[in-house]
Amino acid sequence: MRVGIAGVGFMGSTHAAAWAETEAQIVGFVAETVEEAQPIAQQYGARVFPDFASMLEAVDVVDICTPTHLHVPMILEAAARGKHIICEKPLALSVEDALEAVRVCRRAGVQLYVAHVVRFFPEYALAKQIIAQGQIGQVATLRLLRGSYRPKKPVGNWFLDETKSGGILMDLMIHDMDYARWVAGEVESVFARKVSAVHQGSPVDYGLVILKHRNGAISHVAGAWAYPPPTFRTRFELSGDRGMIEFDSQATSPIESLIIKPHAEAPDVGLPSSPVRESPYTTEIKEFYVALKEGKTPRVTAEDGLAAVQIAAAAVQSAQSGKVVYLESLGERLL
């Protein structure tokens, strides 16, 4: 299996490290400029392609790790060439675009997997399993929090351009919206508000979302790009009629460093990092690899990616309008 990776930022390099642990061959990379991609191509003994189209000719699978607004055009191009696709979350910035991506891939007969990596984090995967076993009964309320600082970028910070990233609701909080739907089922309505860059010198984005699920469960999702670097903190509390599950990344951190760092630096993007044997990103890519090789359905599909975009887009819409947004069923529009 020949893989090409589009985008060499944090996610492109993380996925490359994960692909290196499979039997797939990393054929090459493509980035905005050839120079940008050279160091990582060298690291993996792979090529740098001058553009996406030429990479498509040399691969079976593309892994799209570019800024969000570029996902759908690249998916359409790859599908037209009959290539399977791994796409970083969010699948798209709008429901229309996400629908088109899923439809086109179905018609082209290519696989499309969306990298909602939270489903592969061991703490989230285990909680899902415990709930699926019925250990806490029927889930009634879910509280999910993901908090860090505003993503930085050396140049052109697309994360902070809402036309490119969708902002905090779409880029960060979609993780927990997808997880809430995975655990508690389809979403009926969404209500959301956020604050963002209220004044210069306040590097704070914060969003709150309440989801009502069709089965009556209620999810509360909070997302912060508001904490001091290098903070990255996640918490959840899943309560059912026969028990509950709590998690706090800080409380479960097995190491607390009190080492004095004279020049403390933080990575561009805050990351959760509890020491585990295999990176959740690697678990994810391995599962996608096996799915492509053996035709097994992975735990997150194109339709899941679409549903997550639908919820997040509803949150964006609700935050703008101040109204509750009710979700329509997309089933027929997928045909």
Partner 1 sequence: MSIRIGIMSFAHLHAEAYIQNLRAIPGVEMIGLADDDPQRGEHFARLFGAHRFRSYEELLEARPDGVIICSENSRHLPLVKLAAEAGAHILCEKPLATTAQDAEAIVRTCRQAGVLLMTAFPMRFSTPLLEVKSRLDGGELGQVYCFNSSNQGELPKKHRAWFVDKALAGGGAIMDHTVHLVDIMRWYLGSEVTEVYAVANRIFHADEVEVETGGMVWVTFENGVFATIDCSWSRPPYWPSWGGLSFEMVTDRGAVWVDAFRQNLTVFTHALQRPYWAFWGSDPNQAMIEDFVQAIRAQRPPRVSGEDGLRAVEVVEAAYRSVESGQPVHLERRQV
Q: Binding residues for partner 1, per CB under 8 A? A: 138-141, 143, 145, 147, 189, 191, 193, 195, 198-199, 202, 204, 206, 208, 210, 212, 216-218, 220, 222, 224, 226-228, 239-241, 243-244, 322-324
Q: Quick one: 155 or 264, whose CB is closer to partner 1?
A: 264
The enclosing H or E element of 62 equals strand 61-64
Q: How far is the CB of 95 from partner 1 (least distance, A)?
A: 21
Q: How far is the CB of 221 from partner 1 (least distance, A)?
A: 10
Q: How far is the CB of 177 from partner 1 (least distance, A)?
A: 15
Helix pair angle (174-184, 302-321), 10° resolution? 120
Q: Quick one: 20 or 324, whose CB is closer to partner 1?
A: 324
Best CA proximity match to 106, nearest among 84, 137, 133:
84
Q: How far is the CB of 46 from partner 1 (least distance, A)?
A: 41
What would the two tokens of residue 246 be? 């709590």
Q: Check: CB of residue 82 under 8 Å from CB of residue 112.
A: no
Q: Quick one: 69 or 233, whose CB is closer to partner 1?
A: 233
Q: Quick one: 17 or 244, whose CB is closer to partner 1?
A: 244
Please give the Cα distance from 279 to 15 (Å, whole number): 10
Please give the Cα distance from 308 to 331 (Å, whole number): 14
Q: Quick one: 175 or 212, whose CB is closer to partner 1?
A: 212
- What sign does the dihedral 126-10-147-159 (CA atoms) show? negative
DSSP string, 124-151: HHHHHHHHHTTTT-SEEEEEEEEEE---
Eight-state DSSP code of residue 240: E
Q: How far is the CB of 116 from partner 1 (least distance, A)?
A: 23
Please give the Cα distance from 279 to 47 (Å, whole number): 25
Q: Quick one: 139 or 308, whose CB is closer to partner 1?
A: 139
Q: How far is the CB of 194 from partner 1 (least distance, A)?
A: 9
